């Protein structure tokens, strides 16, 4: 099974800061990598699919990059409403794995 790791597990940043989260797969997953945002008490929401494609309605300050086993998620200018936990997710023929999550809060 493919395992996913994320770093850091948590971070504190100020409004306007650039925030970067990394995600690593235990084997090559090509571009089958998605990113989700989960705010406290809410269901998750997809932000980015297939590494770098922004879901409709998602602000352009969110972006993703990478390929193979190493991926990056970036918030170019952190906003108060971005306080949440972020998860990467890989998919491979009806098998999915989430990363452990990165909790982002305000400094």
What is the token pair recorded at 43?
């269901």
Choose which of 2, 7, 17, 44 interacts with other proteins (CB under 8 A): 44
Least distance between other proteins and beta carbon 16 (Å): 28
Cα–Cα distance measured from residue 2 to residue 22, given in angstroms and rounded to the nearest whole number: 16
Helix, strand, coil share (%) of the chain residues, nearest 5? 5, 50, 45
Q: Is 46 in the site for other proteins (CB under 8 A)?
A: yes
Site string for other proteins, 63-82 (x = CB under 8 A): --------------------
Number of residues binding to other proteins, judged by CB under 8 A: 26
Cα–Cα distance measured from residue 21 to residue 10, given in angstroms and rounded to the nearest whole number: 9
Q: On the CB side of 72, how many CA atoms lie within 13 Å of its CA?
A: 8
Choose which of 36, 62, 71, 73 interacts with other proteins (CB under 8 A): 36
Q: Is 95 in the site for other proteins (CB under 8 A)?
A: yes
What is the token pair recorded at 34?
């998605």
CB of 49 or CB of 73, closer to other proteins:
49
């Amino acid at each position: 099974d493919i395992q996913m790791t994320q770093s850091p597990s948590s971070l504190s940043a100020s409004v306007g800061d650039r925030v970067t989260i990394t995600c690593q797969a235990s084997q090559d997953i090509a571009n089958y990598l998605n990113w989700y945002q989960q705010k406290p008490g809410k269901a998750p929401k997809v932000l980015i699919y297939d590494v770098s494609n922004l879901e409709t309605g998602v602000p352009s300050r969110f972006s993703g990059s990478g390929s193979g086993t190493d991926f990056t998620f970036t918030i170019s200018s952190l906003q108060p409403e971005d306080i949440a936990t972020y998860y990467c997710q890989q998919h491979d023929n009806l098998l999915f794995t989430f990363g452990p999550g990165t909790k982002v809060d305000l400094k």
